[in-house]
Amino acid sequence: MDNRSAAIITEQVFSVSAKQLWSAITQKEEMCEWFFNTIPNLNLR
């Protein structure tokens, strides 16, 4: 089964304010800290 057009939906729950979460998904530095700090040698541009 090779359906590349199928959507992949994920969900994650954070116990923070909406403002903090919005910063985490809209500001590169916050995003790296929240989501990518466990990936070694990650270079986001």
Say whether pTM exceeds 0.85.
no
In this predicted model, what pLDDT tens digit does every residue of 1-14 receive, in sequence order?
567 788 888 888 88
Tokens of 17: 């304010």
Rounded to the nearest 10 degrees, the angle between the axes of helix 28-35 and helix 18-26 is 100
pLDDT band at 19 (very low <50, low <70, confident <90, very high): very high
Q: Report the mean per-residue pLDDT for the chain.
A: 79
Q: How many CA atoms lie within 13 A of 8 on its CB side?
A: 2
* Rounded Cα–Cα distance for residues 20 and 14 (Å): 10
pLDDT band at 38 (very low <50, low <70, confident <90, very high): low
Q: What is the average per-residue pLDDT within 20-29?
A: 86
Q: Which DSSP helix (H) or strand (E) runs through 23?
A: helix 18-26
